[in-house]
Chains A and B, each alone.
Chain A
Amino acid sequence: MDVKVKIEDLNLWYGANQALHNINIDLYDNKITALIGASGCGKSTFLRCLNRMNDLVGSARIEGNVLVEGVDIYDKSIDVVSVRKRVGMVFQQPNPFPKSIYENIAYAPLKHGIVKKGSDCDELVESSLKSAGIWDEVKEKLQAPGTSLSGGQQQRLCIARTIAVKPDVILMDEPTSALDPISTEKIEALMLELKEKYTIITVTHNMQQAARIADYTAFFHLGELIEYDETETIFVNPKVKKTEDYITGRFG
């Protein structure tokens, strides 16, 4: 079992307010890791450290190392744009570009030079949409605007868009919290398929979802990593009292 992402002594401040305290965690390749915890516990903040999205917040200050395949992504010699190409992200609200379905997928790969315009690009669009399990629904209307799809379809389009730039790690920030149960089920099935090829780290508020799909689960509380283990251990036999309380619904 390979460690894909290794986090060492990660601390994060928003201004004077420390949001993450000394996080140390190893995230494994081809696994789904779920981050759980009450609102404001720092799990989304932590997720955003993994592709340096926190750089966009002017007041954020980060210490510690985030090693993706042994390379510190916060090293001065590493360009933030190339980090985000390797570590893709799917957001809570489906956010397709207000362009056609085709352009939604093709835009970033063309800019990254992964493909050239033409049949290569067409193939990449098709394979990405297929991997995201939405090809059959949209193959007839690739020129329709991405925003014309339903919420669940939009989210799968966003996943397809992320896959198209060929990342190693996919971060998902509550990818199903804005979706209905049927769409959620489809996304979950998709995540299980995608973990064969990618490392997936997902934030979720839905305990059952973590139990259903995650191989590993990390429990955050007030900016600290309380417990991290195989999902089954966390849910059946947690070592820390706080974890047990949270999972059984006694707080949070």
Chain B
Amino acid sequence: MSKKINKNNNFYIPQIEKRNKSAKRFRWYALSAVVLSLSFLAFFLFDIVKAGIPAFTQSYVTLEISVDEETADNPYGILDRDMSRLVSRAWLRSFPKEIEAHPEWIGTTQKFSALLNAEADQYLKGNKNRLRDRQIKKLETLKEEGRVETKFNVIFFFTGDSKIPENAGFYAAIIGSVLTMLVTMSLAVPIGVMTAVYLEEFAPDNKLTQIIEININNLAAIPSILFGLLGLAIFINFFGVPRSSPLAGGMTLALMSLPIIIVSSKAALKSVPASIRQAGYGLGLTKWQVTRDHVLPLAFPGILTGSIIALAQAMGETAPLIIVGMIAFVPDAMTSLTSAATVMPAQIYTWSGMPERAYIEKTAAGIIVLLSVLISLNTIAVILRKKFEVKW
């Protein structure tokens, strides 16, 4: 839809067509950069969601078992050879406990919804598996009889890690992340904000202050694994904080978040107009009164956003936590800040290295959970910023 330019008038500039063309070309370069990056993102999200969604369901088979003393003692004897290759070992292991809890079942026939193992589950989801033909036939028969059902995967959200893929869950990692983040937040936010307040409002503007500020800016760009080494050296080796614990991990991540929180809080404080401070000083208020009651409230939205984003970044961090041992195999959710724990990204990393096919979807599902948490955190940051912003 290029317009024909009339050359026979006083407004005509000889190079105009060339200039317009180059402007247009530049516009296209910029636009295609955006489109390219968006399509990478879309591809990534699509791929992850496609791989991860199946992990949110799990197959079960209905079994009728006549319960007696012997089945309670040796549950492995209740199933025939093909069936025992289809039902999860985890379910069989927990079977005696279940009967112990219901002694009235002994001598009766009960229906059970038994967890299928990962291979059977993968077959039903249409993925590659290691089932033999006979077992596949058996599974197909069960399906025709209507004994196979697919349910929401409660195990994924309410158990810890397991070497039995169908029994592995994200729960321990979620709790681990929450506890670790609590430690990080309660250390990094107050220390970071106070440091920023001191540097921005109180520190004299001299060489020393400048050196400190430059170094804080540089710290924000240091590879995170170095913070892990620092945490290992200081917290674990020197102070004797237990390895693999949310306390050690949280303190290490706090070190990593500090520079980001300080830099963003300083920027927020700097954006508060000087006239507000002058108004306060002109009334004979002390520096702390001016800072606390007039400057900090105005800087609050910026500080909040910076802190949330720093914490979100810490939440997705794996490298420093590997160094302090938070890559441990954790089958049960930890109960204290000093017991062994894992966190979401570390759990994802562990699963990604597992040989069984079933861990692929668990890895992707873990990424989906982690991403949803991070996106919600960032959304909260935006909403809070809007909410607390003082109209100027």
Question: Which of chain A's residues have a CB closer than 8 A to the CB of B298?
Answer: 98
Q: Which of A89, A93, A96 contacts B282 (CB 8 A)?
A: A89
Q: Does B285 contact A (CB under 8 A)?
A: yes
A58 touches B204 (CB 8 A): yes
Render A82-111 as a binary contact track against B, CB cut-off 8 A, 1 for contact. Answer: 111110111101011110000000011001
Given A95-B278, A98-B390; A81-B286 close (CB under 8 Å): yes
Tell me which residues across on chain A come within 8 A of B289, comparing CB atoms: 111
A200 to B: closest C-beta gap in Å: 14
**A84, A93, A161: residue with the most chain B Cβ atoms closer than 10 Å:** A84
Does B41 interact with chain A (Cβ within 8 Å)? no
Decide: A53 near B281, CB < 8 A? Known: A95-B275, A95-B276.
yes
Residue B144 CB within 8 A of the other chain: no
Question: What is the 8 Å Cβ interface bit string for chain A, positions 206-240, against chain B (1 contact, 0 not)?
Answer: 00000000000000000000000000000000000
Cα-based distance from A165 to B275 in the complex (angstroms): 19
Q: Does B283 contact A (CB under 8 A)?
A: yes
Residues in A with CB closer than 8 Å to B284 are 81-86, 88, 108, 112, 165
Give A84 to B285 CA distance when docked, in angstroms. Answer: 8
Chain B residue at smallest Cβ distance from A167? B284
- Whether the pair A107, B282 counts as a contact (CB closer than 8 A) is no
Determine the chain A residues whose CB is within 8 A of the CB of B204 once the complex forms: 58
B391 touches A145 (CB 8 A): yes
Q: How far is the CB of A215 from chain B (nearest CB, A)?
A: 23
Chain B proximity of A49: nearest CB distance (Å): 14
Cα distance, A84 to B283, chains bound together (Å): 6
Which single member of B205, B273, B279 contacts A158 (CB below 8 Å)? Answer: B279
Are A147 and B275 in contact (CB-based, < 8 A)? no
CB interface residues, B 254-289, toward A, < 8 Å: 273, 275-276, 278-286, 289
The residues of B that contact A96 with a CB separation of less than 8 Å are 279
The interface residues of chain A lying within 8 Å CB-to-CB of B283 are 84-85, 88, 107-108, 161-162, 165
B391 lies within 8 A of A58 (CB): no
A56 within 8 A of B: yes
Which residue of chain A lies nearest to B275 when distances are taken between CB atoms in the complex?
A95
Shortest distance from the beta carbon of B392 to any chain A beta carbon, whole Å: 7
B293 within 8 A of A: yes
Instruction: Report chain B residues within 8 Å CB of A91.
Output: 275, 278-279, 282
**Interface assignment of A204: CB less than 8 Å from any CB of chain B:** no
Q: Say yes or no: is B294 at the interface (Cβ < 8 Å to chain A).
A: yes
- Chain B interface size band reads 20 to 34
Q: Find chain B residues with CB under 8 A from A83 CB.
A: 284
* Contact residues, A109-159 vs B (CB, 8 A): 111-112, 145, 147, 158
- B275 near A93 (CB under 8 angstroms)? yes
Assess the B392–A147 pair: CB atoms within 8 A. yes
- Give the shortest distance, in Å, between B391 (CB) and chain A (any CB): 7
A98 / chain B contacts, CB cutoff of 8 Å: 276, 297-298, 390-392
Report whether A97 and B392 are in contact in the complex, using a CB–CB cutoff of 8 Å: no
Cβ contacts under 8 Å, A145 to chain B: 391
Query: How long is the Cα–Cα vector from A85 to B279 in the complex, in angstroms?
Result: 12
Residue A176 lies at the interface, judged by CB distance under 8 Å to chain B: no
Q: Give the residues in chain A near B279, CB-CB below 8 Å.
A: 91, 95-97, 158, 161
Question: Which residue of chain A has the shortest Cβ distance to B278 in the bound complex?
Answer: A91
A46-60 with Cβ < 8 A to chain B: 51, 53, 56, 58
Known: A98-B298, A147-B391. A108 touches B285 (CB 8 A): yes
Q: How far is the CB of B19 from the nearest CB of chain A, in Å?
A: 42
B325, chain A: closest CB distance, angstroms: 47
In the bound complex, residues from chain B placing their C-beta under 8 Å from that of A58 are 204-206
Contact between chains at A97 and B294 (CB < 8 Å):
yes
Residues of chain B from 232 to 263 with CB closer than 8 A to chain A in the complex: none
Residue of B nearest to A85 (CB): B284
Residue of chain B at shortest CB distance from A97: B294
CB of B392 within 8 A of CB of A111, answer: no
Distance between Cα atoms of A158 and B293 in the complex (Å) = 17
Write out, one digit per residue, whether chain A residues 40-76 have a CB within 8 A of any chain B CB (1) or not (0). 0000000000010100101000000000000000000
- Chain A residues with a Cβ under 8 A of chain B: 51, 53, 56, 58, 81-86, 88-91, 93, 95-98, 107-108, 111-112, 145, 147, 158, 161-162, 165
* 6 further interface pairs, Cβ-Cβ under 8 Å (given A91-B278, A98-B392, A111-B289): A56-B281, A89-B278, A91-B275, A97-B294, A145-B391, A158-B279
Which 4 residue pairs spanning A and B have beta carbons closest together? A85-B284, A89-B282, A84-B284, A95-B275
A selection of 27 A-B contacts at a CB cut-off of 8 Å is A51-B282, A53-B281, A53-B282, A56-B281, A58-B206, A84-B283, A84-B284, A85-B283, A85-B284, A88-B282, A88-B283, A88-B284, A91-B275, A91-B278, A91-B279, A91-B282, A95-B279, A97-B280, A107-B285, A107-B293, A108-B283, A108-B284, A108-B285, A111-B285, A111-B289, A145-B391, A158-B279
